[in-house]
Amino acid sequence: MKDHISVTGQDGTFAAYIARPKTSPAPAVVVLQELFGVNADIRKTCDELAEQGFMAVAPDLFWRQEPGVDLNVTSDADWQHGLRLYGAYDRDAGAKDVKDTVNAVRNLPQCNGKVAVLGYCLGALMVFLTAVRYHGLDAAVAYHGGDTEKYLGEVDGLNAPLLMHLAEEDEFISKAAQAQIRAALTKKPNTTVYGYPGQNHAFSRHNGTHYNAAAAALANGRTSEFLHQQLRTPGRVSAQPRLHQRAAEIQAYGTVSHLLPLDLEEPVRLEMTAQLNQLLADTMTLRDLYKKSHWQVAGPTFYQLHLLFDKHFNEQVELVDSIAERIQLLGGVSIAMAPDVAETTHIERPPRGREEVPVQLSRLLDAHQTIIRQTRKLARRAVELGDDGSNDLLVSEMLRANELQVWFLSEHLVDVPLITATA
């Protein structure tokens, strides 16, 4: 069907309703259902978003229990049916489904690469769980998410801009729970929470019992402005530099994003980026150790070693770039700043002053030994995990370059006469 797509996730394939804008590529919004399934209300929400220029996709969250749920919001029998599904719903598995949907939507040719998630009630809770557990969202919008207060311990994982709407008279979210939510989210600079006095749960639901046109228009207007701000390029330009800007991180260190279809599962990429960052920290330390030795070398072999150390420094610079780019390619974040490197490296820190040439050479060789040992171990692990690209980097570039440098350094520690041969 033209208005449905299939999403292949980690645990199986499920359907999703899709509403397409007139112009593409466009930013996308993944719309998450209430306990009524992907029903007429959710489909209408998707259609309205498409009219605003967004591609809207609503995945079937209940696909594991009962695929294709489409319940009537005014039917008591359907309400009871939805409550049973809601009570049995696996929220942890659901968060993975949402993440898989975001990844699938981002890779659609009609998407410009920007994806937000928007949800109501159960869907709003899933918006929060997805936003705090997975990175890569460009924006998140939550309407009256029940049970959100039970997961506030995970709020530190929130990096995406979040807009939340709370009905102040919500019969399913107590005032105490709303206060807890506000207190937790106040600490996040990229989060906005709006309250709607006098409104009950689902005040913005089409044809809902508690639908309030004025409150719904206010909330939906704020949502539209938020989504356009977060997902679209500003139309106005100016020659005035915008100085002293700060904002929340777009990706936390130690996480991986899902931008490239590499056919490597998230646990593999997490493990490889963590190990590669350790190797990167050690390589950056060795690089700087070569520059220190280049500057501070002394004695009769000054000229030869001065040039050799500089040559090796430049080769290590290239290795640093190769490792960092591999980490980024896998969706990770490369370690970069000197204080972070100093805290992470396994290589012994030298004194600030000058040391004798044999000590300089020995320090460099010890550092190489640390890196070579780690490189061999990680190369074998990459083979086990099926990460052929990292294995190629480790063997073809890292191992061979370090082994060659070890050879050149070691020859300078061989105790042989320079003028007179021994008998």
Dihedral, 33, 227, 179, 99 alpha carbons, nearest 10? 50
Q: Which two tokens stand for residue 362?
A: 């020995």
CA dihedral over 197, 201, 204, 208, signed as positive or negative: negative
Q: Which of 141, 68, 148, 57 is nearest to 103 (CA)?
A: 57
> DSSP 3-state helix, strand, coil percentages of the chain (rounded to 5)?
50, 15, 35
Q: Which residue, among 31, 3, 292, has the nearest Cα to 139 in the 3D structure?
A: 31
25 SS3 class = coil
Q: Which of 60, 100, 138, 170 is catalytic?
A: 170
Task: Name every residue whose Cβ is closer than 8 Å to that of residue 106 and which is 6 or more positions away in sequence.
Answer: 28, 113, 115, 136, 258, 259
Strand-pair partners of 164: 142, 193
Q: Which amino acid is at 359?
A: V
Residues 6+ apart with CB under 8 A from 397: 319, 322
Q: Judge whether 57 and 18 are in contact, CB under 8 Å.
A: yes
Asked whether 389 and 378 are in contact (CB, 8 A), the reply is: no
312 part of the active site: no
Q: Is 232 exposed, middle or buried, given 0-12, 13-18 or 19+ CB atoms closer than 10 A? A: middle
Residue 170 appears among annotated catalytic residues: yes
- CB neighbours of 287 closer than 8 A, spacing ≥ 6? 313, 316, 317, 319, 320
Q: Catalytic one among 144, 201, 294, 368? A: 201
The residues, any chain, with a CB within 8 Å of residue 88's CB and separated by 6 or more, are: 65
Whose CA is closest to 345, among 265, 273, 286, 421?
A: 286
For residues 72 and 46, the answer to whether their CB atoms sit within 8 Å is no
Q: Which residues are catalytic?
A: 170, 201
